[in-house]
Structure 1
Amino acid sequence: MYGLIGRMIATPGKREELLDIMLEGIDFMPGCISYVIARDPAHAEGIWITEVWDSAESHKASLGLPSVQATIARARPLIAGFDSRSETEPVGGIGL
Structure 2
Amino acid sequence: MKTIAKEELIGFRYSRKEVLPDPNEIKLRNMDLERALALGNLEHGKVKITFLDQSLNLFQVGTTVWAVTDDYVCLKGSLSIPKRAIIQIG
- Mark the structure with the bigger radius of gyration: 1
TM-score, normalised by the number of residues in structure 2: 0.30
**Whose RCO is larger (CA < 8 A, sep 6+)?**
1
* TM norm structure 1: 0.29
